[in-house]
Amino acid sequence: MTDKSADVIVVGGGVVGLWTAYHLAQQGVKTMVLEQFSYPHTRGSSHGQTRITRTSYSEPEYAALMPEAFRRWKDLQDEAGKELFINTGLLTVYDFVKQEEEFYSMLDNLSTHDVSHYVVPGISLSRSFPGLSFPANCKGIYDADSGILMADQCTTTLRSLIVKRGVDLREGERVLSIKPVNAKKVIVKTASKSYTCASVVLTCGAYVNKLLATVNLKIPVQPSRVEVTYWKDKSAEKKYSALNQFPCVIVAESPHYYSIPSHEYPGLVKICWHGGSSCDPDTRDHSTPDSAGVNKQNLEFLRRKVQSSYTDIDASKPAVTEVCMYTETPDSKFLLDFHPEHKNIVIGSGFSGHGFKTSPSVGHILANMALRLQPPYSLEPFSLKRFNTQSKL
């Protein structure tokens, strides 16, 4: 038996799916969210206590998303009456010889969006930010408005809020297939029953191609198993603490690495390499010789960077290691588009690296797409057409 229970069904209840449902509920749309795991869980990309949020981007398409994102995170914090954002500031470090163009692009975007910032020459970085050490050929950009989102608190708050606004949030219900019947009807089949809706939005992270296979499409996204590492602050005064206003740091080399000041684990600083080993999300914990080799190589790369750039961190080994999932496109940009043959199937994917902080704005885009309304931002940089992908399988 098929229940017509929603106008729009969002498949995937991570942070992007939750913000999509939020925007749909704001417009009075009957909305269902189907999440295959029971909350809280660690099987996707939205878990964990902290994420960096920032206004500083060299890519204009991401910089454009951030004013709305910051505004909506603040509104959510005010409505919840609890701290979701910690303003630590953010330091982005560039090798000015190799990355001059990217450096000036970020400055242009910060000026365009009227963000408070200043430039720190490499020779002044360690004086301005004790505990850091970078070569003289580096330059830093300090963005005063950025900081830490309390990720688990954010998603818990979103879930509570959207349910209060009438969203039917169903956890522990895995979607097996989607079947477009016509331009106004899609059947969504789960392990327990089937539902119908006018439009479906896929925000299911690493699992997206498993579902798209049921509608004859494969998109170029790669899931990865990422190790999230925490390192011991050796300083007596715990200089790397968020309580001491140590900033978030992004070192924008390729591959880049980043740090979040100690907060979730007192005395431990989150310092991570942006990348991981390719995997199938259903078997991500079954290490293969290849993935073990990649992870070992990544960790050694990161250990050397910690040793050279963070003067008072114990770089011998991480104190804590956790696991997260990335899902990335070949050019590391979002994919926000319709199925080429079915305009009531909306695809949101490839969010890793930028997804959590931008999710309020991306959810706005996906909700408008599901309702066939004009998106609030240009979709050209995020189009599926850039990969020349056709329906297949």
Query: What residues are annotated to the active site?
Result: 47, 50-51, 270, 274, 324, 357
CB 161 within 8 A of CB 80: yes
Between CA 268 and CA 278 the distance in angstroms is: 27
Report d(CA 16, CA 30) in Å as an integer: 18
- 145: DSSP letter: T
CA atoms within 13 A on the CB side of 339: 28
Q: Are 245 and 205 in contact (CB under 8 A)?
A: no
Give the C-alpha distances (Å, rounded to integers) separating 268 from 2, 232, 236. Answer: 51, 5, 13
Q: Write down how long the chain is.
A: 393
Lay out the sheet containing 175-182: strands in order across. 2-4, 194-197, 185-190, 175-182
For residue 316, how many other CB atoms are within 10 A of its CB? 11
368/83 Cα distance (integer angstroms)? 29
Residue 301, sorted as left (phi over 0), alpha (psi -120 to 50) or beta, turns out to be alpha
Residue type, 139: K
**83: how many CB neighbours lie within 10 A of its CB?**
10
Q: What does the block give as tokens for 237?
A: 């005064």
Which CA distances in Å does 122 have to 92, 93, 106, 127, 248? Answer: 11, 9, 17, 10, 17
Among candidates 354, 319, 322, 320, which has minimal Cα distance to 336?
354
* DSSP 8-state symbol, 288: -
Q: Helices 15-26 and 355-370 sit at what angle, rounded to 10 degrees?
A: 40
Gap between the Cα atoms of 71 and 360, Å rounded: 9
Q: Measuring CA to CA, which residue among 104, 93, 65 is closest to residue 247?
A: 93
Q: How, if at all, do strands 2-4 and 90-95 pair? A: unpaired
